[in-house]
A and B are shown apart, each in its own frame.
Chain A
């Protein structure tokens, strides 16, 4: 069951189609606003973006379709224990405090475009920056794939008799819209569409609250009912589950702060003031977004006679019921559907642009150091098209495959960049070789544990075990190297910041 199985009228479909076409118009406006044909203009919007656009693009990028589908579904399955998602989304902003102010300053001084620009500048090691790029590209590539597959699933119910064709056409059409507006306007188009998409997403969540309480009654009644029919979904966590909470907070808090596309938004801020104020507002958004998803999941779980689904489809099932009740309900569901598409597309476009920038700046420009800006920009656009074609092909080929394991590994990988960003930005004693070794060890530990089915050990995620090993190697190794250096046996490798 998908949301599109809720039957939409022609007028409602036209509304959704108009919304999608408006994104292409914004891409065209982004192209018109271009000031120069350079990588910085294409990938960071030239002189940068102000407070409102920055806030909305950060919001739309951090909150994906998973927030709507995944979090409601997870709460439906395990109950209030998934309230941890409020904490880990808040933790992302907290972890920005550790590095964003200084990274912003250094990035402006040295005109960084990609996260690896910082790594290269700080550590002066091409091997380390290439490795970091590889980890980020792998982490983001499966995220892009997952967004495209979620788009297909969101649309596959339009023709219940031929779900496969709806899925395929849905993936192709939405991917085409994304790549067209992105190629036209680059970062400006992505950020401006995020402004619209973020707005639609916020309205979507507000609609969700209204629909929920209108249809099912108060939260108080739902909680009391759940206590009777499924008390385990209301019970507080035991010690192991509390450990899982802490693990989730650190895993997503650190990993989310190190999203490469979010780091690029730090670079793209027009001023420190706009970045600082955007982050201040971002600190409250989990309470207006993930808390609503949790409440939705709980209320649905308390009404199992209405909701028969077993997971991520719970949102669609509830919407179908609401849609059948009144014309107002129908239109509210249409707005919510647009919000879901917005959530998926805004994440996918940011990820696509970010991967394209890393392949262009960190790989192609290194191989061809004399390439002109126009040539690099052209290569970046070609990259976007090739990437989206590959991702669409995979999304279609893997339609029946669950990518849960691949998705989970995204944070486990990104987490391993924490020493380089969190510590390296402040402590010049952190050296390239120990960081490289730590990164490799951290990735090996995290991937090995995850792929052998040990995603969590004693309630702690595999990536955090990797991070401990990584930190020990990076910090311990740097201290040893420094000591040896003092004895004249080795020299350090750190750069001026």
Chain B
């Protein structure tokens, strides 16, 4: 089997999924139960643990969008980008 084109395999790299795993580890609030005093402080209207979860979610969105925005797909080379 041929290797997938570079831009398709870019999304499958261990580095990408390592970053997602790291973000998931922070985004899922499993650790806040051990620091209840900090967890329930209010940061910008949200409990601290929710604030961190939302910021992490934004991090996931940003990372995903950056991956999608920067990596052209193989078909784009030939399709001429007649858009909108």
* Contact assessment for B83 and A273 in the assembled complex, using a CB-CB cutoff below 8 Å: yes
- B22 located at the interface, meaning its Cβ lies under 8 Å from any Cβ of chain A in the complex: no
* A 49-63 binary contact with B (CB < 8 Å = 1; else 0): 011100000000000
Docked pose: A219 CA to B24 CA in angstroms: 26
Q: Output the nearest chain B residue to A226 by Cβ-Cβ distance.
A: B47
Task: Find chain B residues with CB under 8 A from A246 CB.
Answer: 24, 28
Residues on B with beta carbons closer than 8 Å to the beta carbon of A293? none
Q: In the complex, are the beta carbons of A426 and B79 less than 8 A apart? A: no
What A residues does B32 contact at CB under 8 A?
Answer: 236-237
CB distance from B71 to the nearest CB of A (A): 8
**CB-based A-B contact count at 8 angstroms:** 153
**Contact with B42, one of A98, A220, A280 (Cβ below 8 angstroms):** A220
- Given known pairs A102-B8, A272-B76, A274-B83, the reply for A287 and B46 (CB within 8 Å) is no
Which A residue's beta carbon lies closest to that of B74?
A: A105
Dominant secondary structure at the B interface: helix
Interface size class of B (residues with CB under 8 A): 35 or more
Chain B positions within 8 Å of A97 at CB level: 11, 16, 64, 67-68
Closest CB of chain A to B66's CB: distance in Å? 8
Q: Are A98 and B4 in contact (CB under 8 A)?
A: no
Do residues A94 and B64 form an inter-chain contact, with CB atoms below 8 A? yes
- Asked whether, in the complex, the Cβ of B64 is within 8 Å of the Cβ of A104, the reply is no
Most buried by A among B20, B64, B84: B64
Which of A50, A93, A222, A271 has the most chain B CB atoms closer than 10 A to its own CB? A271
Mask for B22-51, Cβ within 8 A of A = 1, else 0?
Answer: 001001111011001001101011110110
Q: Give the docked Cα–Cα distance between A242 and B27 (Å).
A: 10
A80, A86, A104, A281: the one contacting B57 at CB < 8 Å is A86
Are B8 and A101 in contact (CB-based, < 8 A)?
yes
Cross-chain contact of B73 among A87, A98, A224, A276 (Cβ < 8 A): A276
Contact (Cβ within 8 A) B57 A94: no
A491 within 8 A of B: no
Complex CA distance for A90 and B60, rounded to whole angstroms? 8
Docked-complex contact B12 and A426, CB < 8 angstroms? yes
Whether A271 contacts B84 in the complex (CB less than 8 A), given A283-B64, A286-B61, comes out as no
Q: Quick one: which of A94, A234, A281 contacts B20, CB cutoff 8 A?
A: A94
Give per-residue flags for A220-236: 1 if the beta carbon is below 8 A from chain B beta carbons, else 0.
Answer: 10111001000100111
Report chain A residues within 8 Å CB of B64.
Answer: 90, 93-94, 97, 279-280, 283
The residue in chain B whose Cβ has the minimal distance to the Cβ of A243 is: B30
| 3 closest Cβ pairs, A-B complex | A219-B45, A236-B32, A242-B30
Interface residues of A (CB under 8 A from B): 50-52, 80, 83, 86-87, 90-91, 93-94, 97-98, 101-102, 104-105, 108, 218-220, 222-224, 227, 231, 234-239, 242, 245-246, 249, 270-277, 279-281, 283-284, 286-287, 291, 426, 428
Given contacts A235-B40, A273-B72, A283-B64, 6 further A-B contacts (CB under 8 A): A97-B64, A104-B75, A223-B46, A272-B72, A281-B65, A428-B1
A-B contact pairs, 12 of them (CB 8 A): A86-B54, A87-B57, A87-B60, A90-B61, A91-B60, A101-B74, A102-B4, A220-B42, A242-B29, A245-B29, A277-B68, A279-B68
